Each structure stands twice: as C-alpha cells, then as structure tokens.
C-alpha cells in the first residue's frame, strides 16, 4: 500500500479512529497495530507475510533463550543462529539472482557455457529494513542492553509497525519496542506536528521526486543523444528525486507514527547543506548509517587502532552499505566512491569538523560555506550517477558524455518548470534547517502556507500517475 494512494487515504483515518475511539486499552491497541501492519504489508503480496512472521518468531525465541543462559559460548551460538537465519533469508531473496548471474558470466568469460537456474527470486518489499530491525533486538539482548520481551504482540508490532515497515527509519529495539509497553494518550500538538510532516513528505514525493523522475527517466534512457549540460541536469534532478522520494517517505512515516502516539528517530537532517562528505553521512539515512556504526564499524575497531585499520573499517562500512542497497555492481561502486571521498577527511583528522548547523548565526552561508556545500553536493551527485545507472559501464559512459557532448542549453528548456519548484523547495529547506518541520512564515500566515501546499500536492497528484517509492526495491 503506497502512502500516496487512495487506499492509504482511506486506511489511515480508519485505523486512527478505531485506535483512539474503539480500541482504547494498550493490549487491544497493539493488536490493532499488528493487524493493520499485516494488512498494510500484505496489500502488495500476502504470501510475504510468512517471512515477517517467521523472522518475528525466530528473534522472539532467541531473545527468550538468551535470557535463560549466562554461558557465553551458548549465548554466542544463539546470536549466530539469529544472524545466520536473518542474513541468510535476506541474502537468498536479495542476492541469489545477482550471484547466479555473475557466476554464469564469469564462466562465460573463460569460454565455458553454463545455464542459469530457472528459479527467479522476487524481492519482498522492505526485507532489508525489517531484517535489520529484528537483528538490532537480538544483538542488544545479547549485549545485555535490552531485556528480552515476553509480550509477543508488542514484539510482533515492533517488527511490523506499518508506518516505517517497508522503507524505514530502521528503528532500534531499545527505542521503539518500549513504546509498545506504555499507555499512549492522544496529544493534539504532537498529532499536528505529525500532520505537518506528512504534508511536507507528500510534497517532497509527489511534487519534487515524481516530477524530477519524469525528466530523469527520459535523460538516463536517452543519455547518448543528450547535450552535456542536459546530462548534468539529469544527474542533479536525480539527486533531488532520491532525496525527495526517500526523505519524503521518512517524513510521512514519522508523522504517521505520531498520530498513534509513537516517536520514530529522525532519518534525514537537510543533507544537501553539508559542508563535507562526513557531514553528509551524518545527515543522510541516519538510521542506517548509525546502525552500521554501532553494529559493524565499532565492533571492527572503529576509529581506534592505526590508520590502515581505520581505512579498512571505512571501506568495509561503505562497501557493505552499497551492497545493502541492492544486488548490482553499481551500488558497490557507489559505496566505494563515497569511501574514497571520505578518505582525505579521515587521513587529516577532519572528519568531525562540521558538527553544528551551517550558517548557524546567519541567514545565509558565507562564501566559504557556500563553496563547501556546492563541492559536497557535486561529489554526491557524481556518485548518484552510479546509483541510478543500470550498469557500471553505462554510468561511466554517462559521465564521459558530460565532458565530450556539446554543451548546449536548448534541450533543457522543456524541463524549465522544475527549476522554480526546486528553488522553492531549497529555500523552504534552507530557512527551516534548524528545525524538523518546514516553517518559513510567522504563525499568522503559516496555515495559509500549509493550505496552499495541500492544493499544490493535490494538483500534481491528479496530474500524474502515482509511483512507488525508490527504496521499496531495497
């Protein structure tokens, strides 16, 4: 079920009314959330519900078993059982086709013909997200940072919580699971902030991302016939498409959760205003980057040890992050490229230079800050070409075309309506960068802004086909 669909427009208020006016007890509210989450996910393909239920049962059981023993060897054995099961399931559904294709191709390059298996694996929506969410529970129970739960309904609701089930944020069990134990009361101000986030998320998705996608798809599909400037515009549009699409989903998820009295972690913090790559990764897909930091980077040694170990750890994190995104060499190259961007900051100990807000005490950035933002955005956009392209060869060819094609502007004229929208979007984000919800006017006129925003969303929603969110494929 898509957030930007008629079905969800009916689904959300129905569950909201039942939740607050019919199922008023904590246990019944959790049961309603669980049922609603399974309906929400099963809307795509009810057969994949089996995987969520199975993953839930395994990690719930592992948590209880970990509580029963203090023997370290047995605890490690139980942890590894959870890791092997969850990552094995994820690996099979997500990477089976990738490894088979590459295996056949490798033999073909040596002159040996092999036939692929007829088994064609379909990737279940959101499996990368809820797998990492359940793993956080087992790992934290193993580390004794969290008491294992005996409330199966609460745990199953945590695993399948519908607002963030298919594209995050990837919640930690230590943060979200305890919220299912506590009675929740309706808070008008929290609900209003949730509605504002939903509205801004829909604007990002419907108005920015989906409109950019129209041009991006055309430019990337016909990149060999485009001018160099048009190819640059195509890459820039994709940078805004993926940001609007993914952060838009996160905003809607966080806002929806607030309607039911839940607090989800922030997943994006205006990443395109970053002054270096390290700052970008502290602001982009925060739930995933912090997951890798806590469960992979720090156990590997983190920033401790000599420089070679630090470099190794950085490359491991970025390459695994790339591979997490999908079974394609383009994602691995994308991850490796970001590691190379990060390397000079690490070697010069400048990777934690920018921890505060850009232009913290000013309306506008300094010349130096503006230059840093543009350089960081340019490097990020270059890497996005590999993320978007169908193959590494196409990505390299696309970049080469930028510098070898004619640099003319006329082919961009047909995309001119996007520029005012993007300018408006950037300005709203810039003047809202110190908060979570876009606020560009004083309170007297603020609701006029939200009403106009609603009409703009409805206009663009009716004028174009509803499209799935990009990160559903991951």
Closest-CA residue to 432 (of 376, 355, 359, 373)? 359
Nearest alpha carbon to residue 231 among 419, 338, 385, 418:
385
pLDDT of 409 strictly over 70: no
Please say whether the beta carbons of 369 and 359 come within 8 A. yes
Name the token pair of 6: 């008629």
Task: Determine whether 325 is an active site residue.
Answer: yes
- As a whole number, mean pLDDT of residues 171-195 equals 93
Beta strands in 128-209 (DSSP E): none
Q: What is the 3-state secondary structure (H, E, C) of 443-463?
A: HHHHHHHHHHHHHHHHHHHHH
User: What does the mean pLDDT of the chain come to?
Assistant: 87
User: What is the rounded CA–CA span in Å between residue 385 and residue 334?
Assistant: 8
pTM of the complete model:
0.90
Which of 350, 368, 380 is CA-nearest to residue 243? 380
Read off the pLDDT of each residue in 324-349 and give the average, rounded to a whole number: 91
- What is d(CA 399, CA 51) in angstroms, rounded to the nearest whole number? 40
Residue 65's nearest CA partner among 142, 7, 120, 123 is: 142
Q: In this prediction, what percent of the chain has a pLDDT beyond 90?
A: 59
- Report pLDDT for 110: 64
Q: Is 273 within 8 Å of 370 (Cβ atoms)?
A: no
Q: What is the mean pLDDT of residues 400-429?
A: 76
Q: What's the chain's Rg over C-alpha atoms? A: 23
* pLDDT over 70 percentage in the chain: 88
pLDDT, tens digit, for every residue of 100-119?
A: 665 456 556 666 665 555 44
Q: Using the predicted structure, report yes or no on whether residue 463 has a pLDDT greater than 80.
A: no
Specify whether the CB–CB gap between 406 and 412 falls below 8 A: no
Q: Which pLDDT does position 112 carry in this prediction? A: 60
pLDDT surpasses 50 at 380 = yes
Residue 97 pLDDT: 65
Q: Return the pLDDT at 118.
A: 46
The better pLDDT of the pair 46, 76 is held by 76
Catalytic one of 175, 189, 325, 354: 325
Q: Residue range 219-238: average pLDDT?
A: 91
pLDDT in tens, 448-459: 888 888 888 888
| Confidence band for 43, pLDDT divided at 50, 70 and 90 | confident
Which residue ranges make up each domain of the chain? Answer: 6-184, 189-275+354-473
Identify the CA nearest to 168 among candidates 198, 194, 132.
132
Q: Among 174-183, 246-255, 429-438, where is mean pLDDT lowest?
A: 429-438
Interval 171-186 mean pLDDT: 94
Residue 457: what pLDDT? 87
For the cut 90, the answer to whether the pLDDT of residue 85 exceeds it is yes
Comparison of pLDDT for 267 and 305, the residue scoring more: 267
Confidence of residue 470 (pLDDT cuts 50, 70, 90): low
Is the model's pLDDT at 366 over the cut of 60? yes
Q: Reply yes or no on whether the pLDDT at 148 is more than 50.
A: yes
Which of 133, 147, 139 lies closest to 178 in space, CA to CA?
A: 147
CA–CA distance from 138 to each of 25, 54, 71, 464 (Å)? 28, 15, 16, 43
Mean pLDDT, to the nearest integer, of 431-457?
78
């Amino acid at each position: 079920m898509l957030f930007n669909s008629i079905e969800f427009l009916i689904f959300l208020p129905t569950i909201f009314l039942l939740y607050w006016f019919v199922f008023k007890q904590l246990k019944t509210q959790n049961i309603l959330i669980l049922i609603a989450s399974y309906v929400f996910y099963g809307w795509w393909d009810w057969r994949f519900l089996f995987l969520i239920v199975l993953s839930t049962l395994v990690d719930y059981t592992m948590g209880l078993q970990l509580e029963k023993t203090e023997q370290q060897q047995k605890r490690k054995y139980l942890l590894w059982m959870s890791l092997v099961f969850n990552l094995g399931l994820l690996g099979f559904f997500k990477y089976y086709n990738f490894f088979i294709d590459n295996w056949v191709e490798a033999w073909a390059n040596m002159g040996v013909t092999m036939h692929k298996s007829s088994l064609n694996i379909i990737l279940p929506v959101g499996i990368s997200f809820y797998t990492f969410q359940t793993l956080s529970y087992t790992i934290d129970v193993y580390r004794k940072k969290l008491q294992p739960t005996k409330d199966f309904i609460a745990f199953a609701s945590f695993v399948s919580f519908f607002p963030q089930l298919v594209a995050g944020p990837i919640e930690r069990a230590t943060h979200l699971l305890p919220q299912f134990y506590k009675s929740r009361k309706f808070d008008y101000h929290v609900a209003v902030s949730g509605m504002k986030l939903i509205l801004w998320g829909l604007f990002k998705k419907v108005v920015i991302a989906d409109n950019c996608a129209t041009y991006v798809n055309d430019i990337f599909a016909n990149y060999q016939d485009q001018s160099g400037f048009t190819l640059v515009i195509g890459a820039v549009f994709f940078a805004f498409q993926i940001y609007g699409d993914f952060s838009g989903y996160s905003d809607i998820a966080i806002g929806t959760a607030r309607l039911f009295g839940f607090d989800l972690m922030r997943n994006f913090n205006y990443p395109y205003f970053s002054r270096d790559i390290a700052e970008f990764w502290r602001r982009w897909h925060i739930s995933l980057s912090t997951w890798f930091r806590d469960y992979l980077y720090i156990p590997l040694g983190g920033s401790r040890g000599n420089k070679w170990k630090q470099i190794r750890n950085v490359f491991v994190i970025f390459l695994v992050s790339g591979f997490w995104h999908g079974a394609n060499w383009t994602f691995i190259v994308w991850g490796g490229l970001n590691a190379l961007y990060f390397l000079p900051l690490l070697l010069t100990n400048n990777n934690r230079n920018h921890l505060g807000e850009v232009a913290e005490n000013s309306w506008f950035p300094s010349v130096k800050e503006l230059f840093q933002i543009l350089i960081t955005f340019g490097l990020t956009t270059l890497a996005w070409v590999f993320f978007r392209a169908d193959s590494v060869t196409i990505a390299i060819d696309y970049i080469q075309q930028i510098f070898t094609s004619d640099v003319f502007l006329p082919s961009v004229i047909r995309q001119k309506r996007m520029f005012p929208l993007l300018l408006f979007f950037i300005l709203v984000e810039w003047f809202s960068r110190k908060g979570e919800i876009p606020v560009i006017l004083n309170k007297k006129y603020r609701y006029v802004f939200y009403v106009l925003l609603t009409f703009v969303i409805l206009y663009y929603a009716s004028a174009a086909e509803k499209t799935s969110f990009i990160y559903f494929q991951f």
